[in-house]
Amino acid sequence: MNSFSQLDLFGGPQFPPDREKATTQRQERRSGTFTDNMRLPIHRWFRYSAGFSAEWVEQAIKDFPSARPPVVLDPFAGSGTTLLAAEKAGAVVYGYESHPFVSRIAAAKLLWHLDEQRVLHAAMSLLGRAKASKPRVPEQLPDLLAKCFTPATIERLLALRDCYIEIRQETDEWRLVWLAITAILRSCSHVGTAQWQYVLPNKRKAAFLDPFHAFEAKISEMISDMDFAKRIGFHQTATMFSHDAREPAPIAEHSIDLVLTSPPYPNNYDYADATRLEMTFWGEIASWGDLQLTIRRFIIRSCSQHTAAERLHLEDLLEDVTLAPIQAELTEVCNQLATIRMTKGGKKTYHTMVAAYFVDMAKILMQLRVACKPGARLCFVVGDSAPYGIYVPADLWLGRLAVATGFDSFSFEKVRDRNVKWKNRKHRVPLHEGRLWIKG
Ligand SMILES: C[S@@+](CC[C@H](N)C(=O)[O-])C[C@H]1O[C@@H](n2cnc3c(N)ncnc32)[C@H](O)[C@@H]1O
């Protein structure tokens, strides 16, 4: 049975200004999740993990105690939630993202101001060509693509991809067309891809989309959102840098009033793996093994695959002088992890992951001290973790590192508990997630 489900062509939901206003008025003052963003124009173009809600960002900008909107920075910009929310609020905003593929996605979303008709024209010329093209599926289809798509689906997806490569131009309109193709991949897959960013080839979805219909519907959604953003007066105030936040900043010193961000947590989530399907589809990686060189080396070390590949030595990491304010406790935790791993089958390198995570975050806090004005406010939406059941108080340690870097003070506002339902958990350590506020 064909389980494609089809979408209404050009009949996607609209966001009239009055509904948007009502939503904003009802805004809850919480950091929310990226799921909240999937009902918001532009934010919904690409689903990305572990963000926060755009509405919370807007509120935090409005709450900033100054007559003029604050100058905002998100050093872990991901898919661009902070940048788009700041553009809506009329604040100048900068974003860094060092995952090259994710940075391209955020940069494309910031192109909402382009002429809709030109985007539509590029997209429809591509679709017409793809529909007319002869099906060509290579014999050596990467394993991941063969697992994720039925033969009929991959044929159409590859037609879109190959025609895109043949006729694209180096223009912004075509960057949006690239985003539309990239954004439909998971909804066209019959295996487990949604919600959780990793691919679960053994899970089956009840319904999945036909690529040509999905592409047309995505373009329709984008056109309608672009029109909406212009009508409600989004401002072109964002600058996105494909930049590693550990390195010296590409912006002026002491220029930032407000940092709103959500860094990776020290919880073994692999941001490189999160875009493996998309990068394999575009031919940017051939296998899981390519992720280290193409992605992980540019991002902070928050997963054990990363530190295992770098073959790090715990003693060298712990000697880093920037860790001084947390050195004793960090050493104890890492030594426990080094011992426990020898009793585990997987022998995961959580000991070097945790140490390297704080070395990297200390570097970033130093860069933020240089970029921020005296008296700036910073909010990190962050969570703690417990690899192998050993507790890592991420918010507390990041707060202490921030003060050692020259900020005045920190406080933590818990937003939610995690890991409190014990079923199916690897450990029973209660965890939390919330806002680490840093001032100074
Ligand atoms: C929790 S996500 C941020 C999600 C974002 N708030 C959004 O709404 O899409 C953390 C991001 O930090 C990025 N990242 C990790 N290390 C980085 C670094 N050294 N410099 C810049 N970005 C980095 C990751 O690639 C990931 O996209």
Three-class SS string for 147-195? HHCCHHHHHHHHHHHHHHHHHCCCCHHHHHHHHHHHHHCHHHCCEECCC
Domain containing residue 155: 113-221
Average pLDDT over every residue of 51-69: 93
Dist CA 230 CA 287 (whole Å) = 41
**Which residue has better confidence, 115 or 48?**
115
pLDDT score at 418? 85
Could you tell me if residue 228 is inside a domain?
Answer: no
Dist CA 41 CA 39 (whole Å) = 7
Residues forming beta bridges with residue 413, ordered by sequence position: 435
Backbone angles phi, psi at 93, to 5 degrees: -145, 145
Ligand 1 binding pocket includes 301 (Cβ within 6 Å): no
Pocket test for ligand 1, best of 76, 94, 261, 265 (most atoms within 8 A of CB): 76
Distance 124 CA to ligand 1 centre (A): 33
Whether residue 6 has pLDDT greater than 50: no
Tell me, yes or no, whether 402 and 292 share the same domain: yes
Tell me, yes or no, whether 185 and 91 share the same domain: no
Whether residue 195 has pLDDT greater than 60: no
pLDDT score at 203? 81
Distance 95 CA to ligand 1 centre (A): 10
pLDDT per residue over 318-373, tens digit each?
Answer: 999 999 999 999 999 999 999 999 999 999 999 999 999 999 999 999 999 999 99
Distance 83 CA to ligand 1 centre (A): 13
pLDDT score at 420? 72
Dist CA 281 CA 154 (whole Å) = 10
Tell me, yes or no, whether 289 and 429 share the same domain: yes
Could you tell me if residue 16 is inside a domain?
Answer: no
What is the phi-psi region of residue 354: left when phi exceeds 0, alpha when psi lies from -120 to 50, beta otherwise? alpha
Last residue of a domain, one of 171, 191, 221: 221
Ligand 1 binding pocket includes 81 (Cβ within 6 Å): yes
pLDDT score at 220? 98
Tell me, yes or no, whether 126 and 178 share the same domain: yes
Could you tell me if residue 348 is inside a domain?
Answer: yes
Number of folded domains that form the chain = 2
Read off the tokens for 397: 């340690």
pLDDT score at 206? 81
Could you tell me if residue 226 is inside a domain?
Answer: no
135 confidence band (pLDDT: 50, 70, 90)? confident
Ligand 1 binding pocket includes 76 (Cβ within 6 Å): yes
Tell me, yes or no, whether 154 and 293 share the same domain: no
Dist CA 359 CA 386 (whole Å) = 18
pLDDT score at 14? 37
Could you tell me if residue 209 is inside a domain?
Answer: yes
Residue nearest to atom 26 of ligand 1 (CA): 78
Average pLDDT over every residue of 256-276: 95
423 confidence band (pLDDT: 50, 70, 90)? low
293 confidence band (pLDDT: 50, 70, 90)? very high
198 confidence band (pLDDT: 50, 70, 90)? confident
Whether residue 277 has pLDDT greater than 70: yes
Whether residue 190 has pLDDT greater than 80: yes
